[in-house]
Amino acid sequence: MVAAVTIAGIASAANFTWGLGSSDFYDKDGETFMDYGTAFLYLGTVTASETAFDLSGATLLTYGGFDAENWIYGNLNAEALSSSDSLVSTAAGQAYTIVLVNKNVTSLDGFEGNYALVNGVSEQESVPGATTSYFGKFENYDTITTSNTMAVPEPTSGLLLLLGMAGLALRRKQV
């Protein structure tokens, strides 16, 4: 039974290529080449405000840094496909977002800095052979500039004043 569950889990993972392949990645000034940072691939649509990413409609598939040998972010190599248990279909037409940030991070939690959201729709490709196998393509070849800025909001003066007054009230009550 354990073997059947393991095989079912392996069978549900889908293979894919993903990434930003234009070789033109710029920081917010549009002039500095960005050969640093992290790209995150999400299945679904990611949105952002000035203070946070909204990941509620998306599932993280993978992430990676700049590949200096190929001048890309991600894995565009169809001979060495990526895989994720969270991707169960290689079908075309799946919405995705690649989030490129200007820092080397492993998560978008609490991220502060510049970023770009690259939205797209997947394609399906095949690997010919005795048995044809399929993989999903989550790729973008546009020039990317991280022009959006995100900062964690600082507490307002009013909130600090309110907390200070509450502290004084509690201290006075104890005396």
In this predicted model, what pLDDT tens digit does every residue of 90-138 receive, in sequence order? 999 999 999 999 999 999 999 999 999 999 999 999 988 888 899 999 9
pLDDT of residue 40: 98
Q: How many domains does the chain have?
A: 1
pLDDT of residue 22: 94
User: Taking the CB of residue 168, how many other CB atoms lie within 10 A of it?
Assistant: 10
Q: Which domain holds residue 44?
A: 2-174
Minimum mean pLDDT range among 5-14, 97-106, 123-132, 140-149:
5-14
Q: CA-CA distances (angstroms) from residue 132 to 11, 39, 83, 127, 162? A: 15, 30, 17, 6, 66
pLDDT of residue 164: 64
Confidence category of residue 4, pLDDT binned at 50, 70, 90: very low
Q: Is the pLDDT of residue 67 over 80?
A: yes
Q: Is the pLDDT of residue 8 over 70?
A: no
Give the global pTM.
0.80
